[in-house]
C-alpha cells in the first residue's frame, strides 16, 4: 500500500492527464468542448472570399437542385433564396466538430434571424433525424432543423462534416469551409454585413 502511495505521488499528474484523455476520447461533449476552446483562438476560422469573375451568371446559382424539408415535411422553395445571403451548415449530432461549432452557429443565427436578407439552412445528416432533433432540444438550440429531401449538389457538400457554405445574393459561393470554425467572431459578422450590403 505504501508503494502505491509513493507511486501515485510521483505519477499523480500522469494519472490525472490519462483520466482526462480517456474522458475526452469517450465523451462527445467533452471532445466538443476541447475543440471549441481551440476554435475560439481563431486558428481555425474561415473567411469569406472575394467573388470570382465569371461571364456566365446562371452558373453562379450554387443552390440549384438543393431540396430540403423542415420538421413538418415542407420542402424549402429554393426560389425564396434568390437575392439573399444564404448560410448553409451541414452537421450531424454524432460529429464532435459539429457539436463544437454549433454554439457559434446559434449565436450567428440569433444575431441575424430577424434580417429578411439572410437565410439559414442548418441541414442535419444523421441517419436517424430524431437524433438530430433530440440534440438541438437537449442543448436549447433554435436554428432551423432541415433534412435533405433529395441529393445534395456536390458544389455544396462532398461528405465532410461539418461543412459550411455561404452564398452571396447572386448565388455565388463565397465561403466553402470543411471542418470546425467559430462563426461568432466580430470579424465574421463584419464579412456577413458586407455581403448583406451588396446589391443582387
The pLDDT tens digits of the residues spanning 87-97 come to 999 999 999 99
Predicted confidence band at 64 (pLDDT cuts at 50, 70, 90)?
confident
Q: Which residue has the cell 444523421?
A: 126
The pLDDT tens digits of the residues spanning 139-177 come to 999 999 999 999 999 999 999 999 999 999 999 999 999
Distance CA 154, CA 144 (A): 22
pTM: 0.77
CB atoms < 10 A from the CB of 38, how many? 13
State residue 122 phi and psi, 5-degree precision.
Answer: -100, 105
Residue 35 near residue 97, CB atoms below 8 Å:
yes
Predicted confidence band at 46 (pLDDT cuts at 50, 70, 90)?
confident
Residue 102 near residue 91, CB atoms below 8 Å:
yes
Amino acid at each position: 500500500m505504501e508503494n502505491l502511495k509513493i507511486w501515485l505521488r510521483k505519477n499523480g499528474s500522469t494519472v490525472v492527464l490519462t483520466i482526462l484523455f480517456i474522458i475526452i476520447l469517450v465523451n462527445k461533449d467533452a471532445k466538443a468542448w476541447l475543440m471549441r476552446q481551440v476554435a475560439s483562438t481563431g486558428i481555425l476560422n474561415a473567411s469569406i472570399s472575394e467573388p470570382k469573375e465569371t461571364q456566365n451568371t446562371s452558373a453562379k446559382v450554387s443552390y440549384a437542385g438543393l431540396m430540403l424539408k423542415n420538421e413538418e415535411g415542407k420542402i424549402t422553395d429554393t426560389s425564396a433564396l434568390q437575392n439573399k445571403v444564404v448560410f448553409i451548415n451541414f452537421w450531424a449530432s454524432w460529429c464532435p466538430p459539429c457539436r463544437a461549432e454549433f454554439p457559434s452557429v446559434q449565436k450567428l443565427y440569433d444575431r441575424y434571424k430577424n434580417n429578411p436578407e439572410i437565410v439559414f439552412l442548418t441541414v442535419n445528416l444523421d441517419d436517424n433525424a430524431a437524433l438530430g432533433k433530440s440534440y438541438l432540444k437537449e442543448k436549447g438550440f433554435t436554428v432551423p432543423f432541415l433534412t435533405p429531401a433529395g441529393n445534395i449538389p456536390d458544389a455544396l457538400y462532398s461528405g465532410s462534416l461539418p461543412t459550411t457554405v455561404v452564398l452571396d445574393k447572386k448565388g455565388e459561393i463565397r465561403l466553402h469551409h470543411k471542418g470546425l470554425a467559430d462563426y461568432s467572431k466580430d470579424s465574421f459578422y463584419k464579412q456577413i454585413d458586407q455581403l448583406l450590403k451588396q446589391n443582387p
